[in-house]
Amino acid sequence: MTDPTPNSPTKPSDPMRIFDRSLHARRRARAAAGFGDYSFLKKLAAEDIAFRLSAINRKFEHVLDLGAHDGTLARTLKADPIVAGRLGEIVSTDLSAAFGHQVADEEALPFPPQSFDLMVSALSLHWVNDLPGALIQIRRALKPDGLFIATVLGGRTLTELRQCLLAAEEEIRGGAMNRVSPMMDVIDAAGLLQRTQFAMPVADNDARTVRYSHPLKLLSDLRGMGETAAFANRAGPPLTRRILMRALEIYAQRFSDADGRVRATFEFVTLSGWAPGPDQPVAKRPGSASVRLADALGVKERNAGEKTGPKG
């Protein structure tokens, strides 16, 4: 999510393309061997998805784990005593073959329509360039009345690091560019679910604070997660060591606690929605009610302008 290394040469890119997916896949592959040592955020997201599924009393015979990394989410679901009995086969996919799953790009899903009863994703979809397009593909890959639940990193993620990098670059260069990946907020998430025609859409968020002995440990964790920035447009001056070191100094000054440890925010935004199905509740059209509101409330209906209260 941050780019601490010098930028590679610029290459032509679609102006709407924020992320270089091939670069992200390479960084994901590099992180694969040791991912388990850095998967604490993935585990938190997986546990939350399992908790949400435990409240839904229905069977899901065909399940897809999209952006599976090392399979943490599937293992968590199978280990939950309530959820496990409601799930059938779980197919795991990832953008990188290094994790040993079926390779699938969230921007071009290789599945026919109505393939799955449940599609889940933990901390992967925030790397998608065309998220509306990906959500449409996900909805189409769900069977009627199929469920989608995903957790992504939200806009408050790494707000401390973002501020410090901007401040350091502004101080040294007199201008700054964004070095931390942009991410959506919960309002955007809710709107996207509605826009892509999911039924009963819900979006919520939860900010988690992780504390580190030094900001460098945060950067190490981001590399270990495969979460360092992968911008498609890498024009502009590189992030130099001088700027990075100054940013880390500012970080320690602004965001350290009394014990000297520094804080890092990770915001989880969770999206859920159902593929439209024939048995789902449908909102009635305005004016179609068969019972008057006054009758339901047990009061007398009055004409506009008629006075209420005791008569003299």
User: How big is the CA angle at 123 (ends 2 and 10), to the nearest 5 degrees?
Assistant: 35
Separation CA 120–CA 49 (nearest Å)? 8
Per-residue pLDDT band for 171 (boundaries 50, 70, 90) equals very high
Separation CA 121–CA 271 (nearest Å)? 10
Query: Whats the size of the chain, residue-wise?
Result: 312
Residue-wise pLDDT tens digits, 42-101: 999 999 999 999 999 999 999 999 999 999 999 999 999 999 999 999 999 999 999 999
Per-residue pLDDT band for 280 (boundaries 50, 70, 90) equals confident
- The pLDDT, as a whole number, for residue 311 is 46
CATH number of 21-276: 3.40.50.150
CA 150 vs CA 118, 122, 128, 261, 304: distances in Å? 11, 6, 13, 31, 49
Domain coordinates of the chain in residue numbers?
Answer: 21-276
Residue 138 has pLDDT above 90, yes or no: yes
Separation CA 141–CA 285 (nearest Å)? 29
Residue 34 has pLDDT above 70, yes or no: yes
- The pLDDT, as a whole number, for residue 115 is 98
pTM value? 0.85
Query: 30-34, 40-44, 299-303 — which is least confidently predicted?
Result: 299-303
Q: What is the mean pLDDT of residues 170-190?
A: 92
Per-residue pLDDT band for 7 (boundaries 50, 70, 90) equals very low
- The pLDDT, as a whole number, for residue 233 is 85
Per-chain mean pLDDT for the chain: 89
Q: Tokens at residue 273, please?
A: 């929605």
